[in-house]
């Protein structure tokens, strides 16, 4: 049985939470391998809605181990709050069901403050971050001055590490007209939060290695979407980590051969939160309808999402950069009732046709979609669990999407409920 990596094949918000929850029943361990609490997953189980941001989606499923990998940046205060919130909803969360990689980097209050200061100071060039300190924490990680979860075990050594960190940050803050960070207050805050984090801390790479030797099945859960990847996304309007499937190995501490099947999640249309290019965005009636019917508001931030038609050009591109084996197509029911449906199949740039999104920022902003148009369907697809439950034209739409992106649809989701899913090919069995 292979392991499975789940990644968003668009700009995030594709419905990964439901698909991961649906697949987690077949898995023994669910792992987050990048990002932070800027991610948002909404799960609906037996009519109960759970909203997660930092915790892996498997945490609400009894009998599963959830792991926050070393590639994730962890806000210890947000972590403690989310654990408490999930526990209050009746979910059992203990060190036996949840592990945090001891070598994961910490997000500190100074990271959040820097994020806010930068976005506010550069409003004309805002990147649309969630202002949760994700980017600054990753900057400190690669700058080799970050604090990590394991550092909370040694408070005798922590003041020197804090001083090294603040030598950088206080210089930045002076340049922005902000007060310096009080090192004693930061140390006191870390001492206070440490007991809520350390019971969950452990050597996640060892745990995963031993689990694989024992034949356990692992589900790796990506955050955000592939078009927000720091290298392969719409730079600079991207997140601060690699979101591609290859990051599952580095961000969890396993070898690349252990990654297994790669499942990409894509909506039957396209959405984006924040700034940046969006070739198929519809700012008119169709975009408003998709947003209203699809309830397109961010799980974490509540921000309204920009909406538009399905972009086969972009999904073809993400399939290649992540080695996607199959697609889980979500929110097909949002297209119910449309007379005509468009799909972008190529772009036009400065009078010539191209078949990919260029890397240059100003060219990304200038591309124009070339559409194919299909007839829509009037019957409902909501809640369909077999192909026979779908209108013929809806099936035709799905099959045409497969042809255009060059990958099969392995799963088809027809509502937020986990069981409203048509299984074509189980990723865990190939």
Catalytic residue ranges: 13, 41
State how far the Cα of 107 lies from the Cα of 33, in Å rounded to an integer. Answer: 16
CB neighbours of residue 230 within 10 Å: 18
What span, in angstroms and rounded, lies between the C-alpha atoms of 410 and 332? 14
Cα separation, 418 vs 195, whole angstroms: 35
Q: Residue 248 and residue 256: Cα distance in Å, rounded? A: 8
Closest by alpha carbon to 16, among 251, 419, 327?
Answer: 327
Contacting residues for 358 by C-beta, under 8 A, at least 6 apart:
349, 364, 367
Q: Is the peptide bond before 236 cis (omega within 30 degrees of 0)?
A: yes
Rg (CA), the chain: 22
CA distance 125 to 376: 39
- Find all residues with CB under 8 Å of 84, minimum gap 6, and list them: none
In SS3 terms, 207-226 reads as HHHHHHHCCCCEEEECCCCH
């Amino acid at each position: 049985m292979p392991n499975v990596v789940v990644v968003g094949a668009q700009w995030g918000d594709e419905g990964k939470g439901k698909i991961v929850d649906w697949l987690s029943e077949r898995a023994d361990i669910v792992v987050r391998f990048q990002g932070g609490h800027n991610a948002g997953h909404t799960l609906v189980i037996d009519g109960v809605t759970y909203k997660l941001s930092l915790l892996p989606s498997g945490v609400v499923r009894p009998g599963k181990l959830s792991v926050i990998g070393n590639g994730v940046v962890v806000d210890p205060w947000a972590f403690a709050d989310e654990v408490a919130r999930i526990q209050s909803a009746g979910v059992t969360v203990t060190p036996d069901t949840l592990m945090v990689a001891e070598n994961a980097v910490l997000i500190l209050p100074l990271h959040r403050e820097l994020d806010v200061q930068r976005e506010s100071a550069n409003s004309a060039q805002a990147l649309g971050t969630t202002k949760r300190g994700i980017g600054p924490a990753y900057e400190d990680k690669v700058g080799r001055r970050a604090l990590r979860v394991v550092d909370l075990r040694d408070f005798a050594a922590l003041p020197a590490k804090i001083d090294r960190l603040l030598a950088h940050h206080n210089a930045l803050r002076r340049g922005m007209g902000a007060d310096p960070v009080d090192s004693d207050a930061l140390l006191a805050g870390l001492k206070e939060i440490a007991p809520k984090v350390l019971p969950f801390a452990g050597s996640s790479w060892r745990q995963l290695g031993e689990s694989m030797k024992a034949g356990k099945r692992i589900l790796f859960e990506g955050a955000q979407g592939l078009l927000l990847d720091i290298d392969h996304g719409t730079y600079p309007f991207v997140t601060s980590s690699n979101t591609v499937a290859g990051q599952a190995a580095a961000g969890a501490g396993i070898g690349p051969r252990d990654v297994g099947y790669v499942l990409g999640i894509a909506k039957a249309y396209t959405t984006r939160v924040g700034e940046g290019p969006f070739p198929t965005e519809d700012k008119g009636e169709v975009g408003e309808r998709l947003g209203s019917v699809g309830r397109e508001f961010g799980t974490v931030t509540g921000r309204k999402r920009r909406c538009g038609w399905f972009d086969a050009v972009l999904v073809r591109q993400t399939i290649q950069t992540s080695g996607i084996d199959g697609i889980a197509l979500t929110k097909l029911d949002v297209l119910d009732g449309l007379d005509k449906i468009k799909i972008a199949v190529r772009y036009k740039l400065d009078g010539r046709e191209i078949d990919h999104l260029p890397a240059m920022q100003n060219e990304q902003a200038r591309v124009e979609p070339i559409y194919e148009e299909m007839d829509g369907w009037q019957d409902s697809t909501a809640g369909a669990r077999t192909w026979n439950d779908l209108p013929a034209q809806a099936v035709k739409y799905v099959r045409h999407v497969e042809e255009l992106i060059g990958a099969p649809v392995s799963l088809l989701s027809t509502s937020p409920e986990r069981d409203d899913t048509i299984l074509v090919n189980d990723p865990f069995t190939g």
